[in-house]
Amino acid sequence: MTRSEHTYRLVCISGGAVSALNERRRQAERSSETRALLVHATVSLLQSEGFAGTTTARIARRAGVTTGALHHHFSGKDDLMIAVLDASTARVRSLLERGPTGAGAGFDARHLVDHLWQAYGDEAYWAVWEIIIGTRASEALHERVVEHRRNTVRSVVHPWIEQFVPSDRGRPDAIALFEFMLIAIRGLSLERFLHDDAAYFERHLGLLAEMIDARLSGLVDGCGRAAPLDPGANED
């Protein structure tokens, strides 16, 4: 084999490898797009038809794919429900990362409450409630849902809370209050099934912010640092 033939062969092999790599990337992108379509269709159906009415056949039809394609990406309805929860967690994580932080930003309870309302007060969160309520008759799936919530609190919510109270002093009380705030906001989101008056939610979010601000004022100072629980704690 001449040098030029050898070079040509290497170029062909290299070109083939690049083509194969590009094809794998395109396949991965198509797979990701299909999964996203299926999750979006599931959320849409949960909102409009409820948990019982969200079947794999309906999901596939709304996503514009075959049921075979659906089962290629998800084993069934249960896995799709967990995928919806994963998407909700990712959205909450993104909102928290872009939202107010405790690093020198000061503590503004109303800003915080309004920011969290973007995640939990949105209509898309109704799908999560449908899953939580709808899975109560399925012990195995409900346990997966409960464990998913625990993991979200541990991996997303707690680290975010701790930035506001970085010191161990006062942290347990602060974490309990932040968790209460999240519980209250999620509970208020259920009122969207009964009310569509923006002023109604504005009023209750304001009351919640005032309550949190008053209670946390002794735990977090104006710079987002943990404040001494005892005013005389540093006096010796």
- The per-residue pLDDT for range 171-182, each reduced to its tens digit, is 778 778 888 988
Q: If you search the block for the tokens 């249960």, which residue do you land on?
A: 78
- Lowest-confidence range among 50-59, 85-94, 187-196, 214-223? 214-223
Residues of the chain with CATH 1.10.357: 76-229
Does residue 117 register a pLDDT over 70?
A: yes
Fold of domain 1-74 = Arc Repressor Mutant, subunit A (1.10.10)
Contacts with 28 (C-beta within 8 Å, 6 or more apart), sequence order: none
Q: What is the CATH number of domain 76-229?
A: 1.10.357
**Cβ density class 4-28: b for 16+ within 10 Å, e for less:** eeeeeeeeeeeeeeeeeeeeeeeee
Half-sphere exposure of 221 (CA within 13 A, CB side): 11
The whole model's pTM is what?
A: 0.76
Report yes or no: 93 and 212 within 8 Å, Cβ to Cβ: no
Give 220's strand partners. 226
Residues of the chain with CATH 1.10.10.60: 1-74
Q: What is the pLDDT of residue 230?
A: 41
Helices 198-216 and 109-120: crossing angle in degrees, nearest 10, is 130
